[in-house]
Amino acid sequence: MPFTEEQLAFRDSIRKMVDKEIAPVAAKIDAEDKFPEDIAAMFGEMGLLQMWVPEEYGGPGGDLTSVCILKEEVGRHSLTCSTLAANNSIGLILPVLHFGTDAQKEKYLRESASGKIITSIAMTEPTTGSDVSSMRTRAVRQSDGSYVLNGQKSWITWGENASYILVFARTDPDAGYDGISAFMVDTKTPGFRVGRAERKMGRLGAPNNELFFEDMVVPADCMIGAEGTGFKSCMTILDLNRPTVGASSLGIAQGAFEVAVEHAKTRVQFGKPLGQFQGVQFKLADMAIKIEAARALLYSVCAEIDAGDHSRRAVIASMAKCYPADVAMEVTTEAVQILGSSGYSKDYPVERMMRDAKCNQIIEGAQEIHRWIIGRRLVA
């Protein structure tokens, strides 16, 4: 990918930081399943939690390409930390930049720029997964303009860590997609409660919580965008963020590939290194081809969106999420195979990478939903 000199310098500096700070602790974060507070603080100081906050609001700036470079590099060693990188984008920066008022931009973007807050986005409910329009959480407008929220969300990443959560709730129970609105909820608000954290297969250390809203009063100026436009804004935010999930996946694939190549060069069976057998070379070649293809797709999509061409945004964002996520699953599975029993051992990172890769085939639209988004336009 022809990155600019600035992008290459950024990538190299992130790679150095990741090799020094993240690689040594990635297995521990997974084993302890504990939120990496020190990494979050370090990312905040480095401007990495808040990448994409424009300089005019005190942020480091950034765009889709730079966020993807960051997430790919961190993802080489840890999906949890890659998810933490640019954490504020989906729950705060993108919605406020694209749909917020000037006053909301001043307030929320400046607070994000401090690098001291974690944010979340909350759509999923116990009975609402892929079909976002079926959500039940209610927001009822009061005579003074404020809203009262009641309902439950589930699987919310960083729910127990977040200072703000972008909550989607139904302001009109009968209006389908047009009855959903978005609220920037301060988690200190009375009536907000964090429930249990899910027990998961992977991406450990990044908690996923149930959230409860019980007669929680939210001021009118917390609504992001106009009433009833929440679903449409949600889709825009997701489109803009989805390639970054692809970037994390690409990082996982690259990380597992590097471990597999090293193992193939050093593990001797039948009198020579595994990598000298053509059967193993073919596996490595397929992994390399898929990773290069995923990288080319991802960054060409980033370039198109960063250039301001949004004409194909929904379709290409789905491609940029979907393909790298499948590649990560395939590559990590093959990496485990190439390492044999070592691949199945927690002493090596590839079993963790394989568990983590699965996560990205489910979140931010499961793979089937992305194929649906792409496919239905092909036959429209």
Ligand X SMILES: Cc1cc2nc3c(=O)[nH]c(=O)nc-3n(C[C@H](O)[C@H](O)[C@H](O)COP(=O)(O)OP(=O)(O)OC[C@H]3O[C@@H](n4cnc5c(N)ncnc54)[C@H](O)[C@@H]3O)c2cc1C
Q: Which residues are catalytic?
A: 364
Binds ligand X (CB under 6 A): choice among 19, 340, 368, 376: 368
Pairing of strands 119-122, 164-170: parallel
Work out which of 87, 112, 137, 157 binds ligand X, going by CB under 6 A: 157
Residue 369 makes contact with ligand X by CB under 6 A: yes
Find the part of the chain contacting ligand X (CB under 6 A) among 105-113, 121-129, 236-244, 279-287. 121-129
Between 205 and 275, whose beta carbon lies closer to ligand X? 205
Tell me the residue type at 365. Answer: G
Site string for ligand X, 127-146 (x = CB under 6 A): --xx----------------
How far is the C-alpha of 159 from the C-alpha of 118, rounded, in Å? 9
Radius of gyration of the chain (CA): 21
Smallest separation (angstroms) from ligand X to the CB of 245: 10
**Cβ at position 82, least distance to ligand X in Å:** 13
> What is the number of the residue whose Cβ is closest to ligand X?
129
Candidates 124-132, 261-269, 299-307, 340-348 — which segment interacts with ligand X by CB under 6 A? 124-132
Tell the smallest beta-carbon distance from residue 250 to ligand X (Å).
18
Among 50, 208, 248, 318, binds ligand X (CB under 6 A): 208
Of 111-119, 297-305, 323-331, 364-372, the window that binds ligand X (rule: CB under 6 A) is 364-372
Residue 265 corresponds to which amino acid?
Answer: K
Interface residue with ligand X, options 66, 82, 112, 120 (CB under 6 A): 120
156 in contact with ligand X (CB under 6 A): yes
- For ligand X, the closer of residues 202 and 343 by Cβ is 202
As measured in angstroms, the least distance from the Cβ of 184 to ligand X is 15
Span interacting with ligand X, options 47-55, 155-163, 293-301, 322-330, rule CB under 6 A: 155-163
* By the rule CB under 6 A, 155 interacts with ligand X: yes
Question: Least CB distance from residue 26 to ligand X, whole Å?
Answer: 17
What CA–CA distances, in Å, run from 179 to 243, 265, 307, 308?
Answer: 28, 58, 32, 29
Q: How far apart are the first and last CA of the chain?
A: 32
269 lies in the binding site for ligand X (CB under 6 A): no
By CB under 6 A, is residue 203 in contact with ligand X?
yes
In angstroms, rounded to a whole number, what is the distance separating the alpha carbons of residues 169 and 181? Answer: 6
In angstroms, how far apart are the furthest CA atoms of the chain? 81
- Residue with Cβ nearer ligand X (167 or 338): 167
Among the listed ranges 153-161, 215-223, 320-328, 334-342, the one in contact with ligand X (CB under 6 A) is: 153-161
CB of 206 vs ligand X, minimal distance in Å: 7
- Does position 359 interact with ligand X (CB under 6 A)? The reply is yes
Q: State the Cα–Cα distance between residues 171 and 174, nearest whole angstrom.
A: 9
| Residue 363 binds ligand X, judged by CB under 6 A | yes
Shortest CB 153 distance to ligand X, Å: 6
Sites of contact with ligand X (CB under 6 A): 120-124, 129-130, 155-157, 203, 208, 359, 362-363, 366, 368-369, 372
